[in-house]
Chains A and B, each alone.
Chain A
Amino acid sequence: MSFTKRTAKPGFSVQNIGSALSQAVVLTIVLGIVYVLFTNTQENLAIRGIESGFAFLDHEAGLPIGDSLINYSPTRSYGYAFLVGILNTLFVSFLAVIFATILGVFVGIARVSHNWLLAKVAAIYVETLRNLPLLLTLFFIYSVVLAALPHPREAIELMEGVYLSKRGFYLPRPLAEAGFPVFLTAMLVAFVLGLGFWRWAASYKMRTGKPMPGFWGGLGIVVALTGIAYIATGRPISSELPVYAGFNFKGGLAMKPEFASLLIGLVLYTAAYIGENVRSGIQSVQAGQIEAANALGVSNAVVTRKVLLPQALRVTIPATTNDYASLVKNSSLAVAIGYPDMVSIGGTIIGQNGQAVEIIGMWMAVYLTINLIISLGMNYLNARVLHVER
């Protein structure tokens, strides 16, 4: 992707008028088609006696949702139910992007590793995951791997308050006690101080040339101050343990199997692609660059951080942008394994109201928005790592 700017030829020429005219014609045709489709849809809906418009979003939903980040009950509106779905989609996509990136970087580095075994294992992983449909992977994780866990009655207790069963992964829920706001403030202050030290250390190094451990020093400040504040405010965080009662665990935090399967599936699948991006990025850096850096006698770690990775990123980032976008869209497979994402909940709303045109429009708008935001962010990153062309 080149960022050289081409300036348009100024003034009117025969060529410019011609191209302006043809563009106007194309635009008119496109708008015309959109208009015809819109009016045609309205007519068809009216003929069939199907309600249209977004008024239904205010009606009581009445549908149950098993897993929601915000408080939901069936008495809320369809619009609110759809919002629950959007948040679920965003939540699982967000976590999957982070974990897939971390795993993908490891896989990519392993692929070009000089360790034969590591490289082969990474290659087998990439080829297997890329060549299986994601849906199969999801079904496998959901109905083979997670379904093999024991019934909650015989849940595996990993440590006190942490249980693993068919119903999911249960762990203690942190509860804020008195003094928590003070502690939170202290933590924020510690964080700002740590960050400040890091920046000061960097500028000190630039000024004097003397090394100063900015990152580790900053981290030390944060950890030490937070620890002191925690004890000084009287340990203001307690926990609510999950307890098995009746049918299931009550209390605590729960990660449901549907969410876990979707997250694991998306991470494994996308990491295979990201791994390949990272590999091709690393391999795109000319050997001469590394040799030249080595010749300067700096350590391997510095060569990797300051020479190899920045150049590898130029190839890796644009390809990874696509994979992030695919990940978000792939999260719609949630519907097959019972995770209430936006598509699953939207589908239910269509089943109740028959207003498919509106819901499909809303799906499109949300996916488009998410992916445009991802593109914007990634383009910003990309612009930062690009060659500054002379």
Chain B
Amino acid sequence: MNKLMKFGAIAAAITAAGAVSAGTLDKVREAGELACGVSEGVPGFSNPNSDGVWVGLDADFCRAVAAAVLGDANAVRYVPLASKQKVLAVSSGQVDMTSRTTTWTMKRDSAEGVDFTAVVYYDGQGFMVSADAGISSAKEMDGATVCVTTGTTTELNLADFGRANGLSLEPVVFEGKREAVDAYASGRCDALTTDMSQLAAFRTGFSDPSAHKILPEVISKEPLSPLVAHGDNQWKDIVTWVVFGIISAEELGVTQANVADMAANSSDPSVQRMLGSSGDTGGFIGLESTWMADAISAVGNYGEIYDRNLTATLGLERGLNAQWKDGGILYAMPIR
């Protein structure tokens, strides 16, 4: 009921809100904090740790934006959002942005009042089954019961995959990820489906991870990107370029540890431009010239964020998410 009410409140906001959000930057500065929508708990992406601090790749992007905009990485108000609320919460102005495993799709981008910024993680949907189910391919799942979360592209991909391969798959659809994972763990479903990275994350949470296996098929493209409300171009530019900046920092070898030194001493013009020691790239988007230096010293570059949150805790390979020079498809637009 609680979620339903929260949901009603967001819809009411659409009904009652005044003209939007030209001026999210001003709003954030005035509030002194960034309202950042995150998941309700996906290890490695956004999940409160034992001290109640939100950690993960998505949570770090909230911090990076707050550092670039306000100079303070801790000035973030995390707003946990269920899948079906995430788009609405941004379009209605309840949050300033989301950094929340949201797939960039045409419909959301064009007809639902939100804009995507830049991809922070290239994911794909897969299946996890119990190791003793005796199958090695998703195509052998005919008749299987599959646990899935409501309001996501995952749910649609599952139906598409079944139709395309002539498999009869019986979905059990849950409101929350936690409930879906629990139902799978208790044996209600033969398989759990969501993005590969999250399957890996949930698998590490089981008492015996080796009793579960992730099937090889990746059945969809899931480029995950932060969301902002449609119509505020300056704000969209800010979030987009913070993401590109974090990715560029890895490419240019700027790290959390050496960022101050690089800002003062680097002779690389790309580094100088990004860190504000020459020119004023921050000025293009209405921020201080130290915008990227602040963000990097708060959370580090993309590689550091990835290692800290995904490699160290979940053992995820970089794969597609390696830099373009290293065989991945991570490619930041040039900051100049």
Contact = CB atoms under 8 A, between A and B. Distances in A.
Given A247-B190, A344-B150, A49 B231 contact: yes
Interface residues of A, number: 50
Contacts of A338: 147, 172-175, 179-180, 183
B17 interface: yes
Given A37-B16, A48-B113, A247-B143, A351 B83 contact: yes
A64 interface: yes
B14 interface: yes
A64 B174 CA distance: 12
B36 interface: no
A239 interface: no
A44 B150 contact: no
A135 B10 CA distance: 22
Contact of A166 (B14, B16, B186): B186
A348 interface: yes
Interface residues of B, number: 62
Interface in A319-354: 332-333, 335-338, 340, 343-344, 347-348, 350-354
A48 B20 contact: yes
Contacts of B230: 48-49
A147 B20 contact: no
Given A74-B159, A338-B183, A48 B231 contact: yes
A188 B162 CA distance: 43
Contact of B88 (A256, A258, A332, A354): A354
B87 interface: yes
A47 B21 CA distance: 10
A50 B111 contact: yes
B133 to A, nearest CB: 8
A212 to B, nearest CB: 53
Contacts of B172: 66, 256, 258, 338
A143 B173 contact: no
Given A166-B186, A166-B188, A340-B173, A348 B14 contact: no
A352 B110 CA distance: 13
Given A64-B158, A64-B173, A356-B88, A49 B111 contact: yes
A348 B15 CA distance: 21
Residue picked from A62, A258, A344, A356, most chain B C-beta under 10 Å: A356
Given A41-B14, A41-B15, A332-B4, A354 B188 contact: no
A307 interface: no
Interface string A212-225: 00000000000000
Nearest to B8: A360
Contacts of B29: none
B1 A351 contact: no
Interface string A59-86: 0001111100000001100000000000
Given A338-B179, A343-B4, A351 B84 contact: yes
Given A40-B15, A167-B188, A347-B175, A354 B87 contact: yes
Interface string A238-259: 0000000111101000001110
B139 to A, nearest CB: 13
Contacts of B175: 335-336, 338, 344, 347
A357 interface: yes
Residue picked from B19, B162, B183, most chain A C-beta under 10 Å: B183
A349 to B, nearest CB: 9
B294 to A, nearest CB: 31
Residue picked from B174, B176, B188, most chain A C-beta under 10 Å: B188
Nearest to B162: A64
Contacts of B234: none
Contact of B20 (A37, A47, A135, A151): A47
A188 B150 CA distance: 44
Contact of B155 (A64, A147, A360): A64
Given A44-B17, A47-B231, A357-B14, A344 B112 contact: no
A356 B14 contact: yes
A62 B143 contact: no
Contact of A151 (B83, B107, B187, B229): B187
Nearest to A148: B186
B112 A353 contact: yes
A383 interface: no
A51 interface: yes
A45 interface: yes
B10 A350 contact: no
Given A63-B156, A354-B108, A250 B143 contact: yes
B326 interface: no
Interface stretch (B163-171, B194-202, B311-319): B163-171
Nearest to B182: A143
Interface in B105-127: 107-108, 110-113
Interface of B: 1, 3-4, 7-8, 10-11, 14-17, 19-20, 83-84, 87-88, 91-92, 107-108, 110-113, 133, 141-145, 147-148, 150-152, 155-156, 158-160, 162-163, 169-176, 179-180, 182-183, 186-188, 190, 229-231
Given A64-B155, A347-B84, A351-B152, 14 more contacts: A37-B16, A41-B15, A63-B156, A74-B162, A135-B1, A245-B143, A247-B144, A250-B143, A332-B1, A335-B175, A338-B179, A347-B175, A354-B87, A354-B113
Q: Which 4 A-B pairs have the closest CB atoms?
A: A351-B151, A48-B113, A354-B112, A351-B84
19 contacts: A37-B16, A40-B16, A44-B19, A47-B231, A62-B156, A64-B169, A66-B173, A74-B160, A245-B143, A332-B1, A348-B150, A350-B88, A351-B87, A351-B150, A352-B107, A354-B87, A354-B111, A354-B113, A357-B14
